[in-house]
Structure 1
Amino acid sequence: MQHAKPTLTQVSAALTHEVEVVNELGERYLLSIPSERALTVYVDKRELITLMTLGARPEWLVTGYLLNQRLVAGVEDIASVTVDWEVGAAAVKTRGGIVDLAQKTARRVVTTGCGQGSVFGDMMDGVDQLALPDTRITQSELYSIVNAIRLQQSVYKSAGSVHGCALFRGEEMLLFVEDVGRHNAIDTIAGWMALNDQHSAGKVLYTTGRLTSEMVIKAAQMGIAIVVSRSGMTQMGHAVAQKLGLCAIGRATNRRFLCFSGAEHLLLQPELAASPVRVAA
């Protein structure tokens, strides 16, 4: 049975902004920096939270945020997401309201994400009930993912100061998202997956940021069993990954990586570590 999809606006904003800078030699020139704008989310006319974002895909971001916070069970619970950048607001209309919204949002946790992500306390509950698919990744596929990210055109390359997340199926990149915080980028991917009926089996999530408990829990709630990062991992993120059996791979650059947990998902090919790095056009 096909579930009803929400009606979405399409109001992406400029991702960079030019400013004048002065360098150590006294030279003045224009430099591109990432845009950052506040987006206040209203659910059924009630203010929920203000997200700081680049604004590339705000409707996907809001949808994924509601899903990852477990405020809605699925996209079929959302009737519409309307974003208006003139007032910096996203108005969400649900089909039947959110039961106990005040109770669910009463306890807020400020996370370690760049841009100070925040999650509601209930998100931390029920982790033990999450079941992940038996997804596997070969060392060769891991190297291809790292190389694909290296070649990806991005705001980071032109302006810096942002984080990126990408969704892969094998060596194929399905989606690449950047935002001021990695928590926004992963929520945007969650929204895209739900809106496009993308199943989690066989998918791998890549992030440029460190693997915190928030990132691990959100990945697990999306049903993703393998997460790769070019950065490291926190103690709480490691504890949650171990409990879930999630494969967390960090420090993934060139031919180097560290598998912090869930090594049974990784099919090692150590002979590849000594081979030259493949350079694609």
Structure 2
Amino acid sequence: MTSASQRPRLSRTHAEAPLTLAVTAVNEQGQVVEKNIACERPLTLYLNWQPIVTLMTLGARPEALALGYLKNQSFISDITQVESVIVDWEVNSAAIITKEDTSSVSDKMSEKTVTTGCGQGTVFGSFTAGIEDIQLPTPQLTQSGIYALLKNLSEHNETYKNAGAVHGCGICQQDKILSFVEDVGRHNAVDTLAGEMWLEGLDGGDKVFYTTGRLTSEMVIKVAKMGIPVLLSRSGITEMGLNLAKQLGITTIARAKGRHFLVYHGAETIEFDGAQ
């Protein structure tokens, strides 16, 4: 992780876009009502002026999203070499300039996979590079602590409560939510938090990653790359997601809502303390 002394002084725009828009609709009784809907906009990422991908995003924290995406795809690896992240919503673009050698980007882009992410995410051949070398710490959790965290998480999802149509993800420590972000796709939300952690030099070893989305192979790999040993979801898990969680040693808790949860891997890391 990046220490405070190593953090770069990035040129950033902090260009958060409006997250919802008020529109009119007609309800089941034929009445005209005003409702909010989630905004969705394209954001094309340019790395050293080379176009990489266009993400469909809510636009909450685009600089962190851009950095997290490029890091998770192994297009960049050294945050101290990044000079600027400039977002311009007039042309729906994010330009990332780094001193790191990016001459091999075209080769990395030659193989891509359309994922099961909402809105269809894309990962490139380099996405899984290095995961076999990831070593995660063994977490220590309690049943009561999971309940407390789920209760606190229920107070988030502001955009979802206001407009629906989005997923939420959070970085948590014990029962505290350190950062929470919503986006039209869960893959964007996790990339945004990955970018934030990278910028702040945060260690993931004592953190829990929460998502409202299903636990796919993509989600498991991204959380492993963040160094986080616990994955908590309101939704379910896929077979490949579970196999990778076992391989990487990630405690995987799904179908978590209220006072119910299912531990698919890592039950030995949880103290079932009989919380009522």
Residues 227-253 of structure 1: per-residue CA shift (max 9 Å, x gap): 100100001101100111111100111
Instruction: Identify the match of residue 138 of structure 1 among 121, 142, 145.
Output: 142
Pick from 233, 252, 274 the counterpart of residue 237 of structure 2. Answer: 233
Equivalent residue, structure 1, for 2:254: 250
Give distance in 2, aligned partners of 1:63 and 1:125: 17
Q: What are the ranges of 5 or more consecutive residues in structure 2 without an aligned counterpart?
A: none
Two-structure CA RMSD over aligned residues (Å): 1.3
- Asked if 1:33 corresponds to 2:37, the answer is yes
The more displaced of 127-136 and 191-200 is 127-136
Partner Cα distance (1:265, 1:243) in 2: 16
Q: Please give the alpha-carbon distance, in whole angstroms, between the structure 2 residues aligned to 1:164 and 1:153.
A: 6
1:208 aligns with 2:191: no
CA offset digits 1:55-91 (Å, max 9, x no partner):
0100010011111111111311311100000000001
Aligned length: 272
Whole-angstrom CA distance in 2 between matches of 1:74 and 1:268:
40
Query: Contact between 1:246 and 1:261, CA under 8 Å: does it hold in 2?
Result: yes
Q: Distance in 2 between matches of 1:74 and 1:266?
A: 35
- Cα deviation, 1:200-253, whole Å, max 9, x if unaligned, reads 121000000000000000000000000100100001101100111111100111
The equivalent of 2:121 in structure 1 is: 117
- Equivalent residue for 1:66? 70
TM-score by length of 1: 0.94
Distance in 1 of aligned mates of 2:269 and 2:36: 40
In structure 1, what is the equivalent of residue 6 of structure 2?
3
In structure 1, distance between residues paired with 2:199 and 2:26 = 44
In structure 2, the residue matched to 1:279 is none
Instruction: Tell me if the contact between 1:77 and 1:95 (Cα under 8 Å) persists in the aligned partners.
Output: yes
Q: What letter matches 1:174 in structure 2?
A: L
SS at match of 1:151: coil
Identical-pair percentage: 45
After the TM superposition, which parts of structure 1 deviate over 3 Å for at least 4 consecutive aligned residues?
A: none
2:138–2:229 CA contact under 8 A, matched in 1: yes
**Aligned match for 2:20, one of 5, 16, 21:** 16
Give the TM-score, by structure 2 length. Answer: 0.95
